[in-house]
Chains A and B, each alone.
Chain A
Amino acid sequence: MTLVALYRDEGVVLRTQKLGEADRIVTVLTRGNGRVRAVAKGVRRTRSRFGARLEPATRVDLQLYEGRNLDIVTQAETLDAFGARLAGDYPAHTAGAAVLETAERLTAEEREPALRLYLLVVGGLRALADRRHPSRLVLDAFVLRAMASAGYQMALESCTRCGAPGPHGAVAVAVGGVVCPRCRPPGAATPAAETLGLLRALLGGDWPAAEATSERVRREGSGLVAVHLQWHLERRLRSLPLVEGG
């Protein structure tokens, strides 16, 4: 046996899959090493020393061996059990699942550092677990910011195409956001002015303004955020249709 590399990082568990009789493959978004897939041996046994530490949406301090295909988790210590705190609130739990799936999908390559996204995931899960704001608003704010950090910021002020200063009323997701009357392609959406205001507030972190909106405006905003996300990911998110408002 040759020397194996041991490394330590903190991360958020995005997904777990069963492997064999008692093991699991855990997909973790780490702070320093991007998205990593690793094997947690024996984790499904009741007496596993990992216990609930490798459940989805848990922020953990990990020690791993670098493996040929998959790394191997040798130690895990809980930093924040966000998942366990979300499980008792169904709307927050479904929003949390969408945060995790979005993060997984936005990290196309394994081991590509994604610190900004990592911090957004931790912030989003913490806001959900602390019940700081309505869960659907937290999810939409996370998606808008995560998309921006991945280079797909939704234009909400000036025209996406020609840069003409706003405000503009039409949104063309395929183009990347709001468009002026001259650049407006056929089929562009015309959401309420308050809805675009909500999206600006979510992207900029203006929570008092975001929370002052009506249910109808929030629903329209969520719809636009979902279309924007799925357009750029080119595939539907499985969790999104199951997210409950709240």
Chain B
Amino acid sequence: MYEGAVQDLIDELGRLPGVGPKSAQRIAFHLLAANPADVRRLVDALTQVKEKVRFCRVCGNVAEAEECRICRDPRRDQASICVVEESKDVVAIEKTREFRGRYHVLGGAISPIEGIGPDDLRIRELLARLQDGAVTEVILATDPNLEGEATATYLARLLGPLRLRVTRLASGLPVGGDLEYADEVTLGRAFEGRRLLEA
């Protein structure tokens, strides 16, 4: 245990995801030794994020205005919505430059064992966005794990009666990996999602 302020900082850092007691101590002493201007920038960044950032009222992504940058962009395709679990998934998909539509951030995945059901996610908001018929394709891009798959199953069933193209991101072998190391579920999905090669 350290005295007052240092221990408080270690305790606060230790509450962050992925930061254990040892890392918390290392970061605290790094900050203690850092130049005051650097620490000030970090403090400002933390304050700004809490003051300025909110959630887009359309898609639920992090935003600095009522609507996020993507929802405000008129060049984005209005006909397709890509459904993801978290804002960080939007960032990951944006990096691919493959998708020109808009997003819908659910705020997690259905997880009965954690007590998280459909009503705890932004599913009602998704349905509201599909009411006017402007959207013709919904891409389900929830995580390729059990909870993500079950969430996609739930959404596919819910969206079934609407006249929409509902697609799921393909699952398959990691690029750069070896086939022999793939687990059975991944390899099975890769078979299901195989595509025709043009000669």
Which residues of chain B from 89 to 118 have any CB-CB distance to chain A below 8 Å in the complex? 110-115, 117
Q: Which residues of B contact A56 (CB under 8 A)?
A: 113, 146
CB-CB under 8 A for A47 and B184, given A15-B113, A20-B18, A238-B114 = no
Q: Does A151 contact B (CB under 8 A)?
A: no
Q: Which residues of B contact A243 (CB under 8 A)?
A: 112
Which residues of chain A from 165 to 182 have any CB-CB distance to chain B below 8 Å in the complex? none
Q: Does B153 contact A (CB under 8 A)?
A: yes
Cβ proximity bits A80-107 to B, threshold 8 Å, 1 near / 0 not: 0101101111100110011011000000
Nearest CB in chain B to that of A87: its residue: B149
Nearest CB in chain A to that of B175: its residue: A46
Q: Does B133 contact A (CB under 8 A)?
A: no
Q: Does A50 contact B (CB under 8 A)?
A: yes
Given A20, A100, A239, which contacts B115 in the complex, CB threshold below 8 Å?
Answer: A239
Which residues of chain B from 107 to 131 have any CB-CB distance to chain A below 8 Å in the complex? 110-115, 117
Which residues of chain A from 8 to 52 have any CB-CB distance to chain B below 8 Å in the complex? 15, 18, 20-21, 46-47, 49-52
Q: Which residues of B contact A101 (CB under 8 A)?
A: 112-113
Please report the C-alpha to C-alpha distance between residue A56 and residue B111 in the assembled complex, in whole angstroms: 11
CB-CB under 8 A for A78 and B183, given A83-B146, A87-B150, A90-B154 = yes
Q: Does A53 contact B (CB under 8 A)?
A: yes
Q: Which residues of A contact B185 (CB under 8 A)?
A: 51-53, 55, 78, 81, 84
A-B residue pair count with CB separations less than 8 angstroms: 79
Which residues of chain B from 182 to 199 have any CB-CB distance to chain A below 8 Å in the complex? 182-186, 188
The reply to whether B145 and A52 form a contact with Cβ atoms under 8 Å apart is yes
Q: Which residues of A contact B117 (CB under 8 A)?
A: 241-242
Q: Which residues of A contact B17 (CB under 8 A)?
A: 18
Q: Does A196 contact B (CB under 8 A)?
A: no
Q: Does A57 contact B (CB under 8 A)?
A: yes
Given A15, A49, A57, A78, which contacts B181 in the complex, CB threshold below 8 Å?
Answer: A49
Interface residues on B, range: 20 to 34
Given A21, A53, A241, which contacts B183 in the complex, CB threshold below 8 Å?
Answer: A53
Q: Does B177 contact A (CB under 8 A)?
A: yes
Q: Which residues of A contact B177 (CB under 8 A)?
A: 46-47
CB-CB under 8 A for A97 and B113, given A20-B20, A46-B174, A87-B149 = yes
Nearest CB in chain A to that of B117: its residue: A242
User: Residues of B with Cβ closer than 8 Å to A?
Assistant: 17-18, 20, 110-115, 117, 145-146, 149-150, 153-154, 157, 174, 176-177, 181-186, 188
Pull 9 A–B residue pairs with CB atoms less than 8 Å apart, ordered by A. A52-B184, A56-B146, A81-B184, A81-B185, A81-B188, A86-B150, A89-B153, A238-B115, A239-B112
